[in-house]
Amino acid sequence: MHFSPSLIALLSVVPFSLTAPTVRTDEAEAAPYPLPLPDGLPSLNPEQLQQIEKQAHGTLPGLPLPTNISAVGATNLQLIAFNQFIEVAFYTELLYNVTNTVKGYEFPNEVEKEFALRSLETILAQEKVHTLTANEALRHFGRPTIKPCVYSFPVTTLQDAIVLAATFTSHLIGTLQDITERFAANNDNAMTGLIAATIANKGAQSGWFRVFLDKYPSEVPTLTASDVNFGFTYAQSFVVPGSCPNINEIKLKTFSPLDIVTRPEPRTHKIKISWTHVHDDKKEELLWLAYVNQLNVPNVVPLQIVSCDGRKSVAVAIFPYEEFLLNGLTIAAVVNRQGPFANAVSVAQSAVYGPGLIVVE
């Protein structure tokens, strides 16, 4: 085992204090969540950590971290921990649903089920390692660690769960690209390798989800890059409001949500989108829809407002699939200027509603 003795000491003497609500009454039976999990997460003793590493088929990174980190770099690590807890919750639930053959989670045969269970167990343990890696790095740098929330996932079938996993994994890969750039731009170069290694792990997961969904494993030549603020906003869509003990430590922007109403298809067509107003407002300002796909300059299309009743707006916009080969993940955001936008980060700076995630092919 290659974990450092100081880490073990910290893990055993500084347990998280969990203040999150502990009951999700409606789903308490189906979901063995929230934390702490039976294996101890998030507060582990050395034996529990060893057990998780064994299930993950590998250890926490053993290379020494730099001595200091930028404020932006600390926020990056907090966002990673925030996301990783969501994944731990999701795969814990999914594994439970498959293991217990919850309605909607049946497999056609035992061979497929056995392979899926082994794969999910490995993914879950690796996500636990990612969570610990981010929070232990924060502790090392003397920055606030992130505590888990209570989560809820909008899925009740195996198929929908894997579609969701494929989507949030693609978006996390996009967010980790932005995190890498922010580390590099803020003198935290020493952290970039850790993120590259994590992206590769997520890419392998994504390949399995895609094969499961009868898609070719590798999505696009270069995966869509996102923005940390989009990553933070999207992650919160899985959080039970008010259940996060210290989300306020994460100094990122949260946008108002954007709903993609039409299921997009691999052809150029109009899609319907909608959003809810924060303030009652009968009139929309001039808005556009920006699409971020792969490593291309974002496309901006005009929005036609179909209805606006003061609370909710519905609009249609062209999804220019054919012109730009919008395969894989596309991140849509309603923006308050026409652009041009250099990349996802510049779209986020002008975003009003978003991100809406579209996955084609």
Ligand X SMILES: *[C@@H]1O[C@H](CO)[C@@H](O)[C@H](O)[C@H]1NC(C)=O
Which residues of the shown chain bind ligand X in the complex (CB under 6 A)?
27, 30, 68-70, 90, 93-94, 97, 102, 104, 153, 155-156, 161, 187-188
Closest CA relative to residue 327, chosen from 196, 182, 223: 223
Q: Do residues 245 and 149 touch, judged by C-beta distance below 8 A?
A: yes
Calculate the CA dihedral of residues 151, 155, 156, 160 and round it to 10 degrees.
-140
Handedness of CA 267, 353, 280, 336 (dihedral sign): negative
Query: Whole-number minimum distance, CB 131 to ligand X, in Å?
Result: 17
∠ at Cα 44 (42, 50), nearest 5°?
Answer: 120
Closest CA relative to residue 91, chosen from 38, 47, 153: 153
Nearer to ligand X, 97 or 229 (CB): 97
Query: Whole-number minimum distance, CB 96 to ligand X, in Å?
Result: 7
Query: Whole-number minimum distance, CB 265 to ligand X, in Å?
Result: 25
Nearer to ligand X, 45 or 189 (CB): 189
Q: Do residues 134 and 81 touch, judged by C-beta distance below 8 A?
A: yes
Task: Output DSSP code: residue 26.
Answer: G
Other beta carbons within 10 Å of 214? 6
Nearer to ligand X, 74 or 271 (CB): 74
Nearer to ligand X, 20 or 30 (CB): 30
Closest CA relative to residue 123, chosen from 94, 159, 158, 146: 94
∠ at Cα 143 (168, 11), nearest 5°?
Answer: 80
Nearer to ligand X, 156 or 218 (CB): 156
Nearer to ligand X, 27 or 265 (CB): 27
Query: Whole-number minimum distance, CB 175 to ligand X, in Å?
Result: 20
Which alpha helices (DSSP H) does the chain contain, by range? 5-13, 46-55, 71-99, 110-140, 158-185, 192-212, 228-236, 321-324, 344-349
Query: Whole-number minimum distance, CB 83 to ligand X, in Å?
Result: 15
Query: Whole-number minimum distance, CB 286 to ligand X, in Å?
Result: 39
Nearer to ligand X, 94 or 289 (CB): 94
Query: Whole-number minimum distance, CB 185 to ligand X, in Å?
Result: 10
